[in-house]
Amino acid sequence: MKTIVITGSTKGLGFALATSFLEAGHRVIISGKNQHLLDQAMQNLASHQHRVSAKLCDVRNHQDIVNLWDFATTTWGEVDIWINNAGINQQGDALWELSFDDIERVIQTNLQGMIYGTKVALQGMLQQSHGQIYNVEGFGSDGMQRRGINLYGTTKRALTHFTTACAKEASDTPIQVGLLCPGMMITDLLRDETGHIRNERQTKRIFNILGDRPATVAKFFVPHILHNKKNGAHIVWLTKRKILWRFARSSYHQRDLFED
């Protein structure tokens, strides 16, 4: 039985990963910066109550991340897998529409928080002589660019660079560092601050072809994570082959992932 810590796991992919790890018989520490959402997530995981714990954590605060590690090791002894999943989207289309506070919020959450998490997990795992760290990619990780997601994409591009470089730094240690590439998912990141889907018509069209719900992606990731022994692993859900197949059959296979 492994112990897994997941940042940003009160909803979306983080929550789906927590659920899948628990269903596979492992122990999970979920975390988030909103106490209400954290309590709600714990209620939804009540059937696994003896193997799941929760800790309030704002990844922008490095002491919160240290506290999350300490909580996990105090609760379960060691941490086998640490997943830096916490991430947010920007709240405007063009750079000149963003406030300085919004810029700081996105960079501190998506990039700085991920770096803090990787550092804390690496230090702890080196002391226990084993462990794996995974950072979650997003739009922009592969260099793609699009209006309305410039800042978010920049943080994800930097995340990929940082993680591959970090894997090289850890190559002579017993710790593995890798990337999770989830592709396009139906999450709250698609919505603006008012709750509306950004560019709704275009977004729904492309996501109904290429997108997936977080639970689908998590069920793919979890066994691959559990069986991986390779440092620098890049676990990809939406492969180029899958993209081509979905476009090819989209004219006769209609999906509506936005149905309640």
Q: Could you give the residue numbers annotated as active site?
A: 152
Which residue(s) pair with 27 in the sheet?
3
The alpha carbon of residue 137 and the mean position of all alpha carbons in its chain are separated, in whole angstroms, by: 7
Residue 159's φ and ψ, nearest 5 degrees, are -60, -45
Going by C-beta distance under 8 Å and a sequence separation of 6 or more, which residues neighbour residue 14? Answer: 6, 7, 8, 30, 32, 83, 85, 86
Phi-psi region of 199 (alpha: psi -120 to 50; beta: other; left: phi over 0): left
Q: Is residue 49 within 8 Å of 72, Cβ to Cβ? A: no
